[in-house]
Amino acid sequence: MQISAVISVDELTRNGADWAAFTAMLERCRAWGYDAVELAVRDPARVDARSLERALQSVGLAVAALATGTAFSVDGLSLTHPDAGVRRAAAERIADHCRLAARVGGFVILGLVRGRTLPGVTREQAEAWMDEGVAAVCEAGARLGVRLLFEPINRYETDLVHTVEEGLALLDRVRAPNLGLLLDTFHMNIEEASIGQSLRRAGARVHHVHAADSNRCYPGAGHVDFGAVIQTLEGMGYGGYLSAEILPRPNLETSLEQAAANLRRLLGRDEL
Ligand code: LER
Ligand code: MN
């Protein structure tokens, strides 16, 4: 199991204007003991892929995944929007993420971009649009050799797919060979009766894990038992990433440094 840090390409490059801060953050991530980074990218069309590749290569960090949530939270793109044009734009945006992933590596995450059931839309309709959209972006990814992740998200952020069971049901409906589950310990702590049992239930269909504590701060800052989570994942033969997707408290640097130190200790990888 390796560890990864979620960082924002948009924020650290000041929306593509300056790669120095981004490269400096990559260097810090490597020094803290991360194996990879998970990159939040709102719009790949605004990212200079050459500069991104150069920065990653110069520091020697892999890309675990591309996070796409700001395409929803900032641009309002959603696979379940009642306006077909918005749904199409959301799918096109995720296809762009797949094109970027084909260059720099990593999964493409389907999290908040699934949207939520908006007023005037039935739940059945929203679910049908979600399934259709997920299938379409998985096809786009498959053409590029890119794998995608669907993330169950807690009830306070969406009404569509909160639990592992619901995530597995979506995978069964869509049946895309390049789609797996991303499980996030913060959401699991809210929605699952037992984090351990739900991880085991998902088994080999868990392709990526977000590590955030019960308060969404770094692992160790709340009451999720990460020792037990890691033991369960090891028992399942999970060989993917634990990716720290955490609030920047008290600040980004300290939170990522603490996350790496605590996860590495629990993984028995104390030595840097
Ligand atoms: C995205 O990975 C996630 O976990 C969401 O809760 C973001 O708000
Ligand atoms: Mn997450």
142-196 tens-digit pLDDT: 999 999 999 999 999 999 999 999 999 999 999 999 999 999 999 999 999 999 9
Q: How many domains does the chain have?
A: 1
Mean pLDDT calculated for residue range 218-231: 98
pTM: 0.98
Instruction: Determine the pLDDT at residue 174.
Output: 98
For 186, phi then psi, to 5°, come to -65, -50
What is the predicted pLDDT for the residue at 51? 95
Range of the domain at 204: 2-266
Q: Does residue 182's CB lie within 6 angstroms of at least one atom of ligand 1? A: no
User: Which residue has 């049992």 as its token pair?
Assistant: 197
Residue 272 lies in a domain: no
Q: How high is the pLDDT of residue 82?
A: 98
Q: Is residue 271 part of a domain?
A: no
Let me know if 151 is a catalytic residue: yes
**Which ligand 1 atom sits closest to the C-alpha of 182?**
2
Residue 89 has which token pair?
A: 């734009």
Beta bridge partners of residue 244, listed in sequence order: 5, 211
260 lines ligand 1 (CB under 6 A): no
Of the chain, the percentage scoring pLDDT greater than 90 comes to 97
Read off the tokens for 68. 């796409």
Question: Is 121's pLDDT higher than 90?
Answer: yes
Q: What is the pLDDT of residue 15?
A: 79
- Can you tell me which residue has the tokens 């892999």? 62
pLDDT band at 254 (very low <50, low <70, confident <90, very high): very high
Is residue 264's pLDDT more than 90? yes
CB atoms within 10 A of CB 74: 11
- CATH value at residue 52: 3.20.20.150
Cα separation of 78 and 73, whole Å? 9
Q: What is the mean pLDDT of residues 41-61?
A: 97
- Token duo for residue 201: 């239930």
Instruction: Reply yes or no on whether the pLDDT at 233 is more than 90.
Output: yes
Residue from 39, 112, 186 to probe ligand 1 pocket by mutation (most atoms less than 8 Å from CB): 112
Residue 152 near ligand 1, beta carbon < 6 Å = no
Q: Does any ligand 1 atom lie closer than 6 A to the CB of residue 69? A: yes
In this prediction, residues 111-125 reach a mean pLDDT of 98
The single residue listed with the structure tokens 């400096």 is 24
Bridge-based pairing state of the strands 36-40 and 62-67: parallel
Pick from 66, 151, 161, 185 the residue to mutate for probing ligand 1's pocket: most ligand atoms within 8 Å of its CB: 151
C-alpha–C-alpha distance, residues 7 and 220, integer Å: 19
30 burial (CB, 10 Å; 0-12 / 13-18 / 19+) is: middle
